[in-house]
Structure 1
Amino acid sequence: MRLVILCGGESSERDVSLASGWSVARAALERGHEVVLVDPAAEVPVLAGPLRPGDPVDAVGVGKEPPSPLDRHRLRRRMHAALTGGPVLDLLRGAESVFLALHGGWGEDGHVQALLEMAGVRFTGAGSAACAAAWHKGRAQAVLGAAGVPVAERVLWRPGAGEAPQDVQRLVGAGPVVAKPVADGSSVAVHRVDSLSQLAQVAAEVHAANSANSANSEDSAYSEDSGGGELLVEPFLPGREFTVAVVGDEVLPVVEIELTTPLFDYAAKYQPGAVGEVCPARIPADFAGRLQELALRAHQALGFGSGTYSRTDFRCDAGGEPMCLETNALPGLTATSLVPRAAAGAGWTYPDLIQRIVDLATR
């Protein structure tokens, strides 16, 4: 097939997405496809191609820190222009399928999917509605809770002038909490907070960063679609951490994330050897089955169909009960990412996984 792989983009996960894109390209070439690799936010969007089987593809690593968000408005202008007209759009329309290796931001919140749907372009992964439903953690957790998927108590807070709301103060007073952006991925800017003074510092940093982004951005939709600096505050869960991928109608084996730090943050996710990832997880079969059933329920409740894939993350409370943290519409596909690890646990090679995702979009 003629595949165009979209990667990079404008989000805080830009570096992760570039690494995913090159990994997908290498696997697609192994399966005999012709590949063009495109970063729609780059000054020169076509990174490589047309590549044909046998052409060399280098691996791309992920840095320890996410890229600065201050360039987001410039990257978004390029990305919007590339996806709405000109040679990149012509390239997408000429492909037999577009593989979305974008993560975060417009690539995962439904923006890119909506543009491709309007252009009549076939692409991998979920459509715009499911992506939008999963992207905002507060709204997604409300949907999941209503569907019977256990979620922790949560409070949404947009830091600004004044002290934290009473519900936030109550959660902090009851024990450690986790404060994180309500709309972001790859554990970017996730903090464990032990006191109101520490929370105030985190909130001030988030508010300042959001104000700077808004001031530097000509994109009036920035605040709304990025969560506008809104924080989700929820109790810190001290138990074990698991993740479960769903590919089409198949639920993959449970992966346990063995942490050496309190949180599975950005640096831990993308630096080889920073954490242990065990698949299949060493847990009783009935508990594994429960996690898989909950992941499938989350997948379906958020509108993911049988032609899509997702990854749902869980962490256990002090009593060992799993709580759903989030469902990812376009989870990472780097060499150290969790969905490839789960696929290996199911006996799939990395090229097998990529081919299955392509097949789901073209059947």
Structure 2
Amino acid sequence: MSKPRIAVVFGGRNSEHAVSLMGAGSVLEAIDRSRYEVIPIGIAQDGRWVLAASDQRYAIEAGELPAVDTSGTALALPSGEGSLVAYAPGSIPVELGAVDVVFPVMHGPFAEDGTIQGLLEMAGVRYVGSGVLASAVGMDKAYMKTVLAAAGLPVGRHVVVRERDWRLDRDRVVKEAEALGWPVFVKPARAGSSQGISRAHDRASLEEAVELARQHDPKVLIEAAIEGREIECAVLESLGDEPPVASMPGEVRVEGGHEFFNFEAKYYPDQMSLTVPADIPQEVAEELRAMAVRAFEALDCEGLSRVDFFYTPEGKLVCNEINTMPGFTSLSVAPQLWAASGLPYPDLVERLIQLALNRSPGLR
């Protein structure tokens, strides 16, 4: 019998392009080639799909971020067929055969936000991770907080700034931000990996921060600063009919003098530390794990997620956000949380592939 074909898709048209490649490199290394046929597919920053070149670089080297090498064979995924097609100018397209599962190791807009999930739904291809709705809601931090709050989870105070608000009613936006109390954190509503995030402590720095965030997304979120330790928990869908399970919680600490958990702190060496299990009371850890599963179910997530919390000096938990496709290198937080909980990285990758293989294409 032929092996299932797994297409690992990475890259994309957004500022998290390089982060995606770093995760894909780990996934490609971890997949058991004796069980699966693996097809690495890159999406270039201009949107082109290509078979990954044999010398494709996936890691940061000499401080240089990786990017999809567009010299590989161009690809298309026709809607409703589930088969990859290779093509070149002046040549007849060649069908490369059906794909059993797509593993989209992708983050940010036009990727983690339900867009690639919708494309795969139309193509009739199974894929790893959450569906269209959960992916879209999880990507949009404003709607995500609305859904989490509706599920009874505590979320931080915030202000949503749409493009029209900023153009026509800026004074009102500033007053609403001031009511949160300084400092505030300003971030694109639909971006990740701490791209475009900054801290503001007065009107001038707020306006600068909003303009920076708007370079990534016309919709911006202003959040009240929350004093507390950052505790993170990963959630994984169970095989069969069992409920989702939560990992041990872990505490993230920023090193290297960074003001907050920014891109450099997340992805450059020796800029952050993770303590698993987090040094918190047992009853708090159990409450946090239950809340993480509740967040996963509130968004109707599938596959995996990482849920981030603040643990305040008063002993309260605040749900900051959920990531439906968290950073996925073998050294990223979610995989490390699972490794500490007894599920090593290769087994985590295998679980996600099996979950996707067992899922029917189409609505579910």
Q: What's the TM-score once normalised by structure 1's chain length?
A: 0.82
Partners of 1:237 and 1:315 within 8 A in 2: yes
Partners of 1:186 and 1:92 lie apart in 2 by 34
How has the CA–CA distance of structure 1 residues 322 and 34 changed in structure 2, closer, same or farther, with 3 Å as cutoff?
A: same
Partners of 2:208 and 2:144 lie apart in 1 by 27
How has the CA–CA distance of structure 1 residues 2 and 266 changed in structure 2, closer, same or farther, with 3 Å as cutoff?
A: same
Quote how far apart the aligned CAs of 1:153 are: 1.0
> Which of 224, 230, 234 is the aligned partner of 1:245?
234
* Greater relative CO (CA pairs within 8 A, separation 6+): 1
Provide, for residues 301-336 of structure 1, a one-character-per-residue CA deviation record: whole Å limited to 9, x for no partner. 01114xx21111112345242211111111111133
**Are 1:291 and 2:288 matched, yes or no?**
yes
Partners of 1:8 and 1:102 within 8 A in 2: yes
Partners of 2:297 and 2:210 lie apart in 1 by 34
Quote how far apart the aligned CAs of 1:203 are: 2.2
Quote how far apart the aligned CAs of 1:63 are: 8.6
Partners of 1:178 and 1:235 within 8 A in 2: yes
| Corresponding residue pairs, total | 327
Partners of 2:197 and 2:213 within 8 A in 1: no
How has the CA–CA distance of structure 1 residues 10 and 138 changed in structure 2, closer, same or farther, with 3 Å as cutoff?
A: same
**Are 1:61 and 2:52 matched, yes or no?**
no
Matches within 5 A, 1:295-310: 295-305=292-302, 308-310=303-305
Provide, for residues 323-360 of structure 1, a one-character-per-residue CA deviation record: whole Å limited to 9, x for no partner. 11111111111133111111111122211110011111
Q: Which has the higher helix share?
A: 1
Matches within 5 A, 1:81-100: 82-84=76-78, 87=85, 94-100=98-104
Report what 1:271 is aligned to.
Answer: 268
Partners of 1:267 and 1:231 lie apart in 2 by 21
**Percent sequence identity over matched residues?**
33
Report what 1:179 is aligned to.
Answer: 186
**Are 1:46 and 2:51 matched, yes or no?**
yes
**Are 1:257 and 2:243 matched, yes or no?**
no
Q: What's the TM-score once normalised by structure 2's chain length?
A: 0.81
Secondary structure in 2 aligned to 1:87?
A: strand
Partners of 2:325 and 2:86 lie apart in 1 by 21
Provide, for residues 225-262 of structure 1, a one-character-per-residue CA deviation record: whole Å limited to 9, x for no partner. xxx42211111112100111111122111111012333
Secondary structure in 2 aligned to 1:184?
A: coil
Could you list the runs of 5+ residues in structure 2 that have no partner in the other structure? 88-93, 238-243, 359-364
Could you list the runs of 5+ residues in structure 1 that have no partner in the other structure? 50-55, 69-74, 211-227
Provide, for residues 121-164 of structure 1, a one-character-per-residue CA deviation record: whole Å limited to 9, x for no partner. 01110111111121110111011011011101111113335435
RMSD: 3.0
Partners of 2:331 and 2:301 lie apart in 1 by 24
How has the CA–CA distance of structure 1 residues 344 and 157 changed in structure 2, closer, same or farther, with 3 Å as cutoff?
A: same
How has the CA–CA distance of structure 1 residues 196 and 84 changed in structure 2, closer, same or farther, with 3 Å as cutoff?
A: farther
How has the CA–CA distance of structure 1 residues 295 and 26 changed in structure 2, closer, same or farther, with 3 Å as cutoff?
A: same
**Are 1:11 and 2:14 matched, yes or no?**
yes
**Are 1:163 and 2:171 matched, yes or no?**
yes
